[in-house]
Amino acid sequence: MLTVEHIEYLLRDVLGINVQLIKNITIENERLHILFQDFKYTEPCFDFENPELTEQDFEMLDSIWNEIIKNKSNDIGLKSLYTTIQPQNIYFLKLAHYFANEHYLGKPVRLDNHNRITSNSVYRNIHKYLNFPMVDILSDIFNFNYLAINKQEGTVYFTSDFDYINLWSYLGFLKTCWRFLKHIIFLRRMLLIEEFWSYLLSKKHLSRNFMLTKSMFLFKGKIGKTLNVKNIGFLLVEKTHKKYDFKNDYKQLSFKEYLNNIMGNVSFGIHPSYNTRYNPDSLKTQIETFEQIVFELPKYSRFHYLNCCYPDDLLPLEKHHINQDFSFYFPDSLLFRGSISRPFKQWSYTMNRTINVEIVPLSIMDITLSQTLKLSFDEAQKTAQEKIRISLLLGRTCVLLWHNNGMYEPLYKKNYSRRIMLSIKNYIEEIGSIL
């Protein structure tokens, strides 16, 4: 059953409507009514637990989808698309709810080997809409037509997951010897010398620690007039899984120096360890460790391996006053999970309330390009640019995740992480100037 509380939640936490503009919400004669200052919005009631799309809903979605395709190569057309679509017969709340709370997942959901939901779970007839941030578009159409509000400023987040902060501690003695031996066999003399010195000095000297780089961040307040820049590093502070976690030593001098260097330009968040979802009580000690490193409590979180189940795995974050989660993503594809780029909140059916942690959907993770989709450098560059373009022209938020270790090019063969990040930064400057 749909309630006034549900309606308020969808307006405020999914569509991003300023609730101060709402005078009254009622449910009468099987319809919901929202009274704003000088007009009334109404749409038929829907089943909040199990919203189903009707033929008319599909027609409306298709008309938006067709407009996007028509303007696909036209930046200005995409940017102002929301001003050209007529809002009549679009049931904004139901559609936004359907996507944002993931009612498009077939049951049972398909999980990968880390127990994460993959894009294979999405109903076939819904798949194509997830190529775009439909919820952002719905929000913009609603705000523009009914409340005379233009699209708000956007934000691009440069984020990095610090899974390990010292390559040599991570590899251990035997694997380090093996790496050096391969350098000798393949006559990589310079690399051998560099890495040998790093092996000896990386804990003490920042310049010798290749894992502690700034190159995945952008130290700039704003790009163009309306695009904000934010940098966040997520720190893995506990080992709960033998294979997938690493116990970092944040006391090493090089890390302290690194922290001092970037503290003003980079915020830090917690990177809950692999098994946190199965043992949420462990978050408390992780937060205590985090606080000893950064001297503040975490406001942001991204689950290591994006290992979590939405929405209820956010409850431990809420309990510890962590405001934002950055893990929302399909690990196997670049579709817009939830068909949304903007920060939003999900509804917990088990708690029967909103979970008070803002989800900031992840747009691109570095290893999706290189390891999951196995793209060449040129393909990866093109694919990343297109996702950023769509995120910023049709949506308003773009979250990039580049791991710190990948920025060290010689780490493994054909590692283009650093080069892609460079080209992405240039591209964002370009697209930021037209936003």
CB of 369 to Zn ion, least distance (A): 16
CB of 335 to Zn ion, least distance (A): 21
Please report, as residue ranges, which positions from 160 to 199 form the binding site for Zn ion (by CB under 5 A).
161, 163
CB of 326 to Zn ion, least distance (A): 11
The nearer residue to Zn ion, 361 or 432, going by C-beta atoms, is: 361
The nearer residue to Zn ion, 160 or 385, going by C-beta atoms, is: 160
CB of 319 to Zn ion, least distance (A): 22
Polymer length in residues for the chain: 435
The nearer residue to Zn ion, 143 or 276, going by C-beta atoms, is: 276
The nearer residue to Zn ion, 161 or 313, going by C-beta atoms, is: 161
CB of 162 to Zn ion, least distance (A): 8
Rg (CA), the chain: 23
Asked if residues 115 and 307 have their Cβ atoms less than 8 Å apart, the reply is: yes
CB of 401 to Zn ion, least distance (A): 9
Please report, as residue ranges, which positions from 296 to 315 form the binding site for Zn ion (by CB under 5 A).
304
How many residues belong to the site for Zn ion (CB under 5 A)? 3
The nearer residue to Zn ion, 237 or 380, going by C-beta atoms, is: 237
The nearer residue to Zn ion, 327 or 381, going by C-beta atoms, is: 327
Q: Does 337 bind Zn ion (CB under 5 A)?
A: no
**Which backbone phi and psi does 348 adopt, to 5 degrees?**
-95, 120
Please report, as residue ranges, which positions from 354 to 393 form the binding site for Zn ion (by CB under 5 A).
none
CB of 269 to Zn ion, least distance (A): 12
Please report, as residue ranges, which positions from 133 to 162 form the binding site for Zn ion (by CB under 5 A).
161
The nearer residue to Zn ion, 244 or 427, going by C-beta atoms, is: 244
* Interface map 245-274 toward Zn ion (x if CB under 5 A): ------------------------------
The nearer residue to Zn ion, 163 or 195, going by C-beta atoms, is: 163
- Euclidean distance between CA atoms 288 and 285, whole angstroms: 5
* Interface map 195-234 toward Zn ion (x if CB under 5 A): ----------------------------------------
Residue type, 124: R
SS3 for the chain is: CCCHHHHHHHHHHHCCCCHHHEEEEEEECCEEEEEECCCEEEEECCCCCCCCCCHHHHHHHHHHHHHHHHCCCCHHHHHCHHHCCCCCCCCHHHHHHHHHCCCCECCCCCECCCCCECHHHECCCCHHHHHCCHHHHHHHHHHHHHHCCCCCCEEEEEEEEECCCCHHHHHHHHHHHHHHHHHHHCCCHHHHHHHHHHHHHCCCCHHHCCCCCCCCCCCCCEECCCEEEEEEEEECCCCCCCCCCCCCCCCCHHHHHHHHHHCCCCEEEECCCCCCCCCCCHHHHHHHHHHHHHCCCCCEECCHHHCCCCCHHHHHHHHCCCCEECCCCCCCCCCCHHHCCCCECCEECCCCEECCCEECCCCEEHHHHHHHCCCCHHHHHHHHHHHHHHHHHHCCEEEEECCCHHHCHHHCCCCCHHHHHHHHHHHHHHHHCCC
The nearer residue to Zn ion, 102 or 161, going by C-beta atoms, is: 161
CB of 17 to Zn ion, least distance (A): 35
The nearer residue to Zn ion, 183 or 304, going by C-beta atoms, is: 304
* Interface map 86-105 toward Zn ion (x if CB under 5 A): --------------------
Asked if residues 188 and 248 have their Cβ atoms less than 8 Å apart, the reply is: no
CB of 163 to Zn ion, least distance (A): 4
Q: What would the two tokens of residue 188 be?
A: 């990589």
CB of 258 to Zn ion, least distance (A): 18
Using alpha carbons only, what angle is made at residue 19 by residues 15 and 25, rounded to the nearest 5 degrees? 95
CB of 303 to Zn ion, least distance (A): 8
The nearer residue to Zn ion, 99 or 408, going by C-beta atoms, is: 408
- Euclidean distance between CA atoms 284 and 217, whole angstroms: 28
Interface residue list for Zn ion (CB under 5 A): 161, 163, 304
